[in-house]
Structure 1
Amino acid sequence: MKLIDEPIEVLDLVAFFIDDPADLLSLALSARLFADIVIPDHIRFRRLRCKPDVGLFKSLEQRPDIASKLREITICSSLGLANGFKELFIPTPLAGKKLYRSPAPSIISQRTLRKSKSASFRKVLNAVVNPGNQGLPFHGRAVNPDRTSLSPNPRQPGLLNANDGELLLSSLANVILGMGFLRRFCLHISTQPLPGFQNLFETLRRECSALEELHIFLEIPFGNPPYPLDDIVKPMWGFSNLTALFLEIRHPVDPTVPSDYAEEMVGMVLRCKELRDLHLCVARYGEGLIRIPRLLRDGCWDQLRRLSIDGLLCLFEDDSNVVENGAVLSAFYRRHPKLEAIEVNSSSTLFVPGHVDPTSLPNLKDLELKMFAYNKVDELIPIDVCRNLVCLITLTHEVSVQLLKQMVHLRIFGGMVDLDDLAGLADALPNIERLHVRSAVHPGWDKTTPCFRSALLNKYLDPVLRLKKLTHLTGLLVYQTFEFRDFGKKTNAFSRLASSLSRLECVQVRNPHGYEQTLRFIRDEHERCCGFEWEVDDLSNPTDGWGNFFRGFARK
């Protein structure tokens, strides 16, 4: 086994690049053996990315030599990996190159298996993708390596019960005691109300003075009692050195229990004077808008670059007074001249159509419009703002080709368009790099005749093939199921894309189980496609169906 001397990303356990597939099992696919692995001194651990695994953090408590080296922690209950591995590298004898990379469990191609002459390779590979017989934790579906198959739902979330949740938070708090150099902490879980959150955040604030990025996504599903969110927000008051704050809370409402956490949250945010990225979202099921006008009135962050307000948060006292609201918002933008990215969820947040001074946004490059009350972007965005945009994302809005022609700097676009005018869009955006298109009028993908779908696809695909700088394509092919046996045929849509667009890296398709997923092409040194892999979505990816690289806030 070879150990590389580069920083290794820890997932559920420790994983190394290997020569012999049989060594894979010796790395212990469960966290129970994690403490027995000897870590060479030259291995510099930096990042931990995992599902909420109590055993993993119990093991980390016993390994302060590892915990003290960590700089980033990401914990997500909806991580789409059954056994915690992000990627399983499958060696092939093709000129020493790895032809196929796949999440485990995921597709194991017949082509890869044919190239492997070792019967033990098949046996070990089957044990990895189907660890059910090993007594290991596995929540996905068994995979037969002799056929193309995929985990049924890569986004299926997991709900922590009260007992497991308390053990997790307690173990995590104990591990954090030895992480004085932690820079980034991300917790994304769906759970029942747990009192351990207060102790966790107090420990994080007290022990991790160097913390710069804090990402908290907490969802309390229906059927659970409301949680006193003040216990989460109040311990955060000491995080004054944050440069990035991502706080998203979704929970049921108890009208009989008063809560001031919205004001507490705003007060905490105002203390973080060095913020560059700010995302706030609160969704209280069964309740109306949560008004926090203080954020606009008092907010002043000299380095603010990206701002996103979502959920039920409202920044105005009165939505009907659009003239006054536009003036307040323009004044806020003038205090933040470095603002580059805005994510808007409704007319009551970050954009007042027709009443925001375009000169107050001199450096705006990224704009994402979500649930807005306008049907056309042309009626919403001032043309002076449009001309400077590099990234424009619209979730439900139709964008005219005439408007796109004005956006000479646009490199990322996602929105509703008339697919019959896709050729005009290609002419308007010759330098586009990331493209997400949905039909403003349903094009008839629901037809059951394969010949009809193929003809329709080729009609809409031809204009896309003219976009030679394209690196990401999503939306257009989500109704097309990717079949490995068809890949390589000249008439196949994916083969045409891979061969015609040498820069294309990712395309969003429908996997064999009917779910949208990103397919990444693997290219050789001559930029020729020599394989593919299924990509597991980013941990912070929202559930609205958009790829994480299209989120204006997330794009770095």
Structure 2
Amino acid sequence: MALSLQPPELLDDIASLLVRPSDLLSLALTSKTLYAIVVPQHLEFREIRCDARRSALWVALAQHPGLARRLRSLEMYREPDLLRSNLVPRCLMSGDNDVPPVDCSLDVRSKTCSSQCTERICAAISPMSALMRFCFHHSNFAYLHPIETIFEAVLEHCLQLRELEITFYDGLPTFESASRPLWNLSYLTHVSITVNRSPMIRTKQRQYLTEIMRMLSRCPDLEHLRLASEGRGPLVNLSPMLVAMSWPQLKRLVIEGDLTLNKDPAAVTFLARHTQLETLSLNEPLELPPLPHLRWLSTPEFRLRMCGLIPERFPLLEYAMMTDAYESPHREIEPVVRLLLAFPALCGATVALGTITALRHLSQDVPHLQRLALGCSPWNLDRARARETCLPNDECIAILASFPHLTHLDSSAVIGSNSDQETDAILDPFLAALAAAPQLRYVAVDMLLFDGVRPVHRWYALERDEEGKYAGRTEVRNLDRVRFHDWEDIFRQVGIS
């Protein structure tokens, strides 16, 4: 008997066993019957990403626990956010699945997440027994009420949770007071914690770091770890906390902000136990042990043998971001080129170039680059402070287009305009000229929005016709498409966030 002729309940159970969306899509395309079951009831309920103030959405999920049980990922942040696109099940808004249409729109009148809304979120989370990923981007302006009850609901009901991502803007409440339920989680594989501390509490002890380590000690299968504290306060040495830790599956380690390993021998010992690392980001120079699987490295130091950056120790290194080698636009390009050529597998870098000569030197000596981020450029020497349109001239565009393998380019170009029509008139010819690079797929520019407060970093996917010529653009709202190895944004430290 054909699979599509099986009872709907059996087909629903089969679909619920599939984890990867690609497998679900393949199943949905086998017949109209399976499509009607898989797409609205499974694919659309794999992931929700939206503002916590969408109260009607949480009410609908609480009232239909069968749909909530299908969710694998829940991400809450404050809208609008130019770096994220919303994901809300369309079938809820259209009234499919025998669910009355729900108005899931954002209550723009509410600047806070009220206690009533928090209760609705907790009620919606309670049936999410299959949830594997939880992301919470907190803002002082959007979440003024106690939020630990949301974390308690996740701890109590989401027993399959494996990925945790928290961004917290510390103030009132403090992260210490709000995060207590999180530290009872266990068996996580992906952890990312970012805490931005307000001036009033920057000097206070960060007790949450100790709690994080206690939690991580119960996570033997940890694969991804990112810790960041952006308080610009006293440095905190993590080495003593890591000295006894061992995660055989750890592939990605990112330490940022005012968290440090303090050039501590204990940190080197820790890294030597984790030779399986593929991504490593440090905010200080450190004598690195051999890491034969390392593919992405960010470090302030570039003096190769003085800092243990011996190419033979990193045979697979594909992307290098060594900030003191690239941050000065007036630094000679020859040492940078020698560095790029020292690693045989290297195909991407973040570079600051102050002259057209340096740009030409890079294109001639390292033509195999696939990903290039210009921290600054001859047309934009002070990228973070640019307040007017800055575009490369024809000669510079010709040099950029001469990279035969370039797929991703952060151009450092700035576009300022007073209307969408004016933006189109500037942006399209610029992208069309860059499209002479045969493999180029994604280009980033810095947009000066109409309020002119600060540039906004935007990525565009190039569309090509049958002959490979420029045919238009699409803004990339899902930045996973331009990330490196599905984890770290390779262009994150170019000065524009």
Matches within 5 A, 1:298-447: 298-316=244-262, 325=264, 327-345=265-283, 347=284, 351-352=285-286, 356-359=287-290, 361-369=291-299, 372=300, 380=307, 382-384=309-311, 385=313, 388-395=316-323, 397-398=325-326, 400-419=336-355, 420-439=357-376
Q: Does structure 2 conserve the Cα–Cα contact (< 8 Å) formed by 1:395 and 1:416?
A: no
Q: Could you tell me how far apart the structure 1 residues matched to 2:230 and 2:346 are?
A: 32
1:67 matched to 2:68: yes
Return the offset for 1:367: 0.7
AA aligned to 1:63 is H
Give CA deviations for 1:462-511 in whole Å, capped at 9, x if unaligned.
Answer: 222121221111034236878434677xxx4321222x223222111244
- How far the C-alpha of 1:524 sits from its partner, in A, is 4.4
Over 3 Å counting, the alpha-carbon distance change for 1:364 and 1:60 in structure 2 is same
Q: Which amino acid in structure 2 is aligned with residue 337 of structure 1?
A: T
Amino acid at match of 2:413: L
State the 1:410 CA deviation: 1.3
1:478-489 pair list within 5 angstroms: 478=414, 483-485=423-425
Contact 1:76–1:189, Cα closer than 8 Å, also in 2: yes
Distance 1:305 1:506, change over 3 A: same
Q: Deviations over 1:286-332 (max 9, x none)?
A: x412333333211100000000112222334xxxxx5xx2x322211
* TM-score, normalised relative to structure 1: 0.65
What SS does the aligned partner of 2:414 have?
A: coil
Counterpart Cα distance in 1 of 2:136 and 2:307 = 35
How far is 1:333 from its partner? 1.5
| Alignment-mate amino acid for residue 341 of structure 1 | T
Q: In structure 1, what is the Cα distance between the partners aligned to 2:468 and 2:482? A: 29
Counterpart mapping for 1:2-17 below 5 A: none
SS of the residue corresponding to residue 271 of structure 1 reads coil
- Counterpart code for 2:294: L
Give SS of 2:193's match: strand
Give the one of 488, 499, 522 matched to 2:463.
522
1:460 offset after TM fit, Å? 1.9
User: CA 1:256–1:376 in 2, change beyond 3 Å: closer, same or farther?
Assistant: closer
Cα distance, 1:256–1:295 mapped onto 2, change above 3 Å = closer
Amino acid at match of 2:347: R
Match of 1:25 in 2: none
Partner of 1:206: 156
Deviation of 1:212 (Å): 1.2
Contact 1:160 1:190 survives alignment (8 Å): no
Q: Find the counterpart in structure 1 of residue 47 from structure 2.
A: 47
Alignment correspondent of 2:215: 268
2:415, 2:448 within 8 Å by CA — same for their partners in 1?
no
* Cα drift, residue 194 of structure 1: 5.4
Aligned equivalent of 2:78: 77
SS at structure 2 position matched to 1:478: strand
Offset of 1:201 from its aligned partner? 1.8
CA contact (8 A) 1:404 1:425 kept: no
Q: How many Å apart are 1:228 and its aligned residue?
A: 4.3
Summarize deviations over 1:9-65 as a string: whole Å, max 9, x none: 99xxxxxxxxxxxxxxxxxxxxxxxxxxxx964322211111222232223222323
1: CA distance between counterparts of 2:85 and 2:47? 14
Task: Give the gaps of 5 or more residues in structure 1.
Answer: 11-38, 88-133, 140-157, 317-321
Counterpart in 2 of 1:119? none
Change (3 A) 1:78 1:541: farther
- Identify the range of structure 1 (528-537 vs 328-337) with the bigger mean alpha-carbon deviation: 528-537
Report the Cα offset of residue 396 of structure 1. Answer: 5.7
Task: State the identity %.
Answer: 22
Q: Give the letter aligned to residue 401 of structure 1.
A: V
**Closer/same/farther in 2, CA of residues 288 and 268 from structure 1, 3 Å limit:** same
What's the CA shift string for 1:172-197, capped at 9, x where partnerless? 22111101111111111212675643
Specify the SS of the correspondent of 1:425: helix
- Paired with 2:202 and 2:492, the residues of 1 have a C-alpha distance of 33
Instruction: State the shift of 1:438 in Å.
Output: 2.9
Residues 197 and 231, structure 1, Cα contact 8 Å, conserved in 2: no
State yes or no: 1:179 paired with 2:116: no
Separation in 1 of the partners of 2:259 and 2:459? Answer: 32
Change (3 A) 1:137 1:439: closer
- Residue 391 of structure 1 and its aligned partner are, at CA, apart by 0.9
Aligned counterpart for 1:532 among listed residues 467, 473, 480: 473
- Is contact 1:188–1:540 with CA below 8 Å preserved after alignment? no
Change (3 A) 1:198 1:80: closer
What is the Cα deviation at residue 159 of structure 1?
9.9
Out of 196, 208, 213, the position equivalent to 1:250 is: 196
Provide the rounded CA distance (Å) in 1 between the counterparts of 2:302 and 2:490: 24
Following superposition, the deviation at residue 406 of structure 1 comes to 1.5
The whole-number CA distance in structure 2 between the counterparts of 1:459 and 1:238 is 58
Q: C-alpha displacement at 1:243, in angstroms?
A: 0.8
